[in-house]
């Protein structure tokens, strides 16, 4: 069994060797602040939540890995199913990961229920649902009215462009790895951030993450465990 501050979650024995404790009293821990304190981010909550991730597979995998560790069900829609299958297997919780492969206009169920099956139903804080869209630069549009309670929609953007910036401007939580100059300019405009922020976002180290919520940015340092380092490797943005 693994426990959080408020609830117990039943976990298969093999998973205990792979999943790290990653929850705080108010959110999922993605890193530490400048003072070294654990910094929780509210990714899983009662309100339908939209998250935009601008970065590489490494950050997307860390986010899902941490959410699985606190009992979430992850539904992944992706053009790269192999890397997500491997993550689910190494985490030891394949029964809580559904992977749907997208290839052009067709969809093939790679694991879990087929695309036509009923979507998973969240069981409150005991099992929130994380719906991840990892389909390349085009991303996916958020559907404001489609998410029930305890559902979080994550859109992974390997590159931020003017065309997909709506996924950033519509998000409740934006997670950013180091941005290229043109990406930083688009991001600052989409989120109405200050000019100095544009420069900061281009200067992030590989070990750093920017979190933007309600126009306020925080800068964190990834706090990966030895197990996460073994599975994911060191922090980096590009594949």
* Window from 2-11, 131-140, 158-167, 170-179 with minimum mean pLDDT: 2-11
Q: How confident is the model at residue 147 (pLDDT cuts 50, 70, 90)?
A: confident
pLDDT of residue 26: 61
- Of residues 76 and 114, more confidence is placed in 76
Residue carrying structure tokens 């997307």:
60
For residue 91, what pLDDT is reported?
A: 86
Tokens of 24: 């705080």
pLDDT of residue 25: 41
CA distance 157 to 182: 14
Report yes or no: 61 and 40 within 8 Å, Cβ to Cβ: no
pLDDT digits (tens, 9 = 90+) for 85-134: 999 998 888 899 999 998 744 444 444 443 434 556 777 788 899 999 99
Q: Residue 140 — pLDDT band, cuts 50, 70, 90?
A: low
Tell me: the pLDDT tens digits for 43-70?
999 999 999 999 999 999 999 999 999 8
Domains of the chain: 25-228 (3.40.50.300)
Percent of the chain topping pLDDT 70: 79
Output the pLDDT for position 18. Answer: 52
Compute φ and ψ for 108, nearest 5 degrees. Answer: -130, 130
**Distance (Å, whole) CA 137 – CA 190:** 16
Q: Are 54 and 161 in contact (CB under 8 A)?
A: no
Q: What are the tens digits of pLDDT across the range 219-238?
A: 999 989 999 999 999 999 98
Q: Residue 239: what pLDDT?
A: 67
pTM: 0.83
């Amino acid at each position: 069994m693994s426990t959080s501050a408020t609830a117990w979650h039943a976990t298969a024995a093999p998973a205990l060797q792979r999943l790290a404790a990653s929850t705080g009293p108010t959110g999922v821990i993605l890193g530490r602040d400048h003072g070294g304190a654990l910094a929780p981010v509210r990714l899983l909550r009662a309100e339908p939540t939209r998250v935009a991730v601008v970065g590489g597979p490494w950050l997307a995998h860390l986010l899902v890995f941490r959410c699985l560790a606190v009992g979430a069900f992850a539904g992944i829609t992706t053009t790269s199913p192999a890397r997500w299958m491997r993550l689910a297997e190494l985490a030891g919780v394949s029964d809580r990961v559904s992977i749907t492969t997208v290839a052009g206009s067709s969809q093939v169920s790679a694991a879990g229920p087929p695309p036509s099956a009923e979507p998973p139903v969240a069981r409150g804080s005991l099992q929130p649902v994380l719906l991840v869209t990892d389909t390349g630069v085009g991303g996916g549009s958020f559907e404001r009215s489609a998410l029930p309670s305890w559902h979080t929609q994550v859109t992974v953007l390997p590159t931020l462009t003017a065309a997909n910036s709506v996924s950033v401007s519509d998000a409740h939580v934006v997670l950013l790895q180091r941005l290229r100059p043109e990406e930083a300019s688009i991001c600052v405009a989409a989120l109405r951030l200050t000019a100095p922020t544009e420069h900061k976002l281009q200067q992030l180290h590989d070990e750093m993450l920017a979190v933007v919520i309600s126009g306020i940015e925080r800068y964190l340092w990834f706090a990966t465990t030895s197990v996460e380092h073994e599975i994911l490797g060191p922090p980096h943005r590009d594949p």
